[in-house]
């Protein structure tokens, strides 16, 4: 085999390994984002042209978030829950 072929093969192998690593990383990220959602079991439903994640009886009393997709709404919900949790920590402990 000539040297050019070996270089191309090596480059393709490295690219494939990099893509596999990226895929595993993204899967782990999504699993982490879904962990809080699956633990708390809020409702998720389509609301107009957005998705709504709601923990609680209604929008006024519960924690709600919206997004263009279910995953975006869940990510926004996680951010909102983190804000709520930070408010529970005394200032001297932050």
| Structural contact between residues 47 and 26, judged by C-beta atoms closer than 8 angstroms | no
The set of residues, in sequence order, having a beta carbon less than 8 Å from that of 71 and lying 6+ positions away, is 30, 33
| Structural contact between residues 67 and 79, judged by C-beta atoms closer than 8 angstroms | no
* Residue 1: predicted pLDDT: 58
Element (H, E) at 67: strand 63-67
Distance, in Å, from the CA atom of 80 to the CA atom of 85, rounded to the nearest integer, reads 9
Distance separating the N- and C-terminal Cα atoms of the chain: 62
Phi first, then psi: what are they for 88, rounded to 5°? Answer: -85, -15
- Per-residue pLDDT of the chain (94 residues), as tens digits, is 577 878 888 888 898 899 999 999 989 888 888 888 888 899 999 999 999 999 998 988 888 999 999 999 999 999 988 887 777 776 666 5
| Structural contact between residues 88 and 82, judged by C-beta atoms closer than 8 angstroms | no
In 3-state terms, what secondary structure has residue 49? Answer: coil
């Amino acid at each position: 085999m000539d040297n050019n072929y070996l270089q191309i093969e090596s480059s393709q192998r490295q690219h494939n390994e990099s893509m596999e690593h990226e895929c595993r990383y993204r899967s782990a990220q999504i699993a982490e984002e879904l962990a809080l959602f699956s633990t708390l079991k809020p409702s998720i439903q389509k609301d107009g042209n957005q998705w709504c994640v709601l923990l609680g009886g209604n929008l006024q009393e519960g924690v709600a978030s919206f997004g263009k997709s279910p995953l975006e709404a869940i990510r926004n919900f996680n951010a909102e829950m983190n804000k709520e949790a930070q408010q529970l920590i005394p200032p001297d402990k932050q």
